[in-house]
């Protein structure tokens, strides 16, 4: 296991809001929320970290539009896509803003009965320093 260097606060904001979004707007009886964080080494000094949250949508809810990311970023709000009268769409916007600040490539989409948020970012690996002891 290797440690990575990234902004833990932005990662927390992104992931917490996506999990909360899945819980609030997912299927009420069986949301089937799944969360994963994986890291794949690309070089000896960096890796690609993938954050992914999936859930089942509410039955009968409007499908998530294919261009939701660009529309939310452009409009500054996700309210029009909300499945809840109490939601202002702020969590989705915060997730997108945090992912953008992390310079992550992020997507949010619906494929049949599965909603997916995914963010991929390049992170530096923390390489432990080697201690060299010399005797004279």
pLDDT at 85: 57
pLDDT tens-place string over residues 64-95: 878 776 776 666 655 555 555 555 667 777 88
pLDDT bin (cut points 50, 70, 90) of residue 11 is very high
Token pair for residue 25?
Answer: 């707007």
Strand 46-55 to 114-125 pairing: antiparallel
* Residues 20 and 86: beta-carbon distance below 8 Å: no
pLDDT at 10: 94
Q: Cα(68)–Cα(80) distance, rounded to whole angstroms? A: 10
pLDDT, mean of residues 7-19? 93
Q: Cα(40)–Cα(60) distance, rounded to whole angstroms? A: 37
Q: Is 44 helix (H, G, I), strand (E, B) or coil?
A: coil
pLDDT tens-place string over residues 94-136: 888 898 899 999 888 889 889 999 999 999 888 777 656 666 6
pLDDT at 38: 93
Q: Cα(38)–Cα(7) distance, rounded to whole angstroms? A: 16
pLDDT tens-place string over residues 20-54: 988 888 898 999 999 999 998 777 789 999 999 99
The pTM of the full predicted model, rounded to 2 decimals, is: 0.80
């Amino acid at each position: 296991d290797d440690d990575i260097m990234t902004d833990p606060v932005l990662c927390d904001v992104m992931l917490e809001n996506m999990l909360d979004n899945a819980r609030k707007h997912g299927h009420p009886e069986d949301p089937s929320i799944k969360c994963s964080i994986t890291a794949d080494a690309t070089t000896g000094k960096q890796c690609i970290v993938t954050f992914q949250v999936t859930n089942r949508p509410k039955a009968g809810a409007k499908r998530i539009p294919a261009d939701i990311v660009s529309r939310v970023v452009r409009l500054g709000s996700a309210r029009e896509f909300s499945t809840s009268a109490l939601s202002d769409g702020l969590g989705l916007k915060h997730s997108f803003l945090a992912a953008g600040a992390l310079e992550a490539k992020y997507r949010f989409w619906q494929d049949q009965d599965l909603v997916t948020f995914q963010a991929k970012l390049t992170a530096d690996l923390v390489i432990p320093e080697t201690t060299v002891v010399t005797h004279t």
